[in-house]
Copies of this chain bind each other. A is one copy, B any other.
Amino acid sequence: MKAVIILSGGADSSTLGYLLKSKGYNELICVTYNYGQKQVKEIESAKIIAQKLNAIHHIIDVTFMKQFLKGSGLTDDSIEVPHGAYTKENMSVTVVPNRNTMLLSIAWSIACVENADVLAYGAQCGDHYLYPDTRPDYFNAMNLALRLGTEDCRKNNLELIAPLLHKSKAEVITLGTELGVPFEETWSCYDGGEVHCGKCGACQSRADGFKTANIIDPTIYTHCL
From A40-48, A96-104, A165-173, give the one contacting chain B: A96-104
Partner of A149, one of B68, B70, B100, B108: B100
The CA-CA distance from A112 to B65 in the complex, in Å, is: 13
15 CB < 8 A contacts A-B: A58-B67, A60-B68, A69-B109, A95-B153, A98-B108, A98-B146, A98-B149, A98-B153, A130-B152, A135-B148, A138-B149, A138-B151, A141-B141, A142-B145, A145-B145
Residues of B within 8 A of A153 (CB): 95, 97-98, 130, 132
CA distance A73 to B145 in the complex (A): 25
B67 near A64: Cβ-Cβ < 8 Å: no
Q: CA–CA, A113 to B98, complex, Å?
A: 10
Does A77 lie at the interface of the complex (its beta carbon under 8 Å from any beta carbon of B)? no
Chain B residues with CB under 8 A of A138: 145, 148-149, 151
A133 at the interface (CB under 8 A from B): yes
Are A132's CB and B108's CB within 8 A? no
Look across to chain B and name the residue whose beta carbon is closest to the beta carbon of A132.
B151
Q: Using CB atoms, name the residue of chain B closest to A142.
A: B145
Closest to A70 in B: B113
Measured CB to CB, the closest approach of chain B to A4, in angstroms, equals: 11
Interface residues on A, range: 35 or more
- Separation in Å of the A57 CB from the closest CB of chain B? 12
B67, B68, B141: the one within 8 Å of A145 (CB): B141
Q: A105 an interface residue at 8 Å Cβ cutoff?
A: yes
Q: Could you say which residues of chain B place their CB within 8 Å of the CB of A60?
A: 64, 67-68
**In this assembly, does A106 line the interface, its C-beta being within 8 Å of a C-beta of chain B?**
yes
Given contacts A58-B68, A67-B58, contact A101 B146 (CB under 8 A): yes
B contact residues around A151 at 8 Å (CB): 132, 138
Query: Is A215 positioned at the interface, with any CB of B under 8 Å from its CB?
Result: no
CB distance from A145 to the nearest CB of B (A): 4
Report how far A67 CA is from B142 CA in the complex, Å: 24
A183-216 near B? 1/0 per residue, CB < 8 Å: 0000000000000000000000000000000000
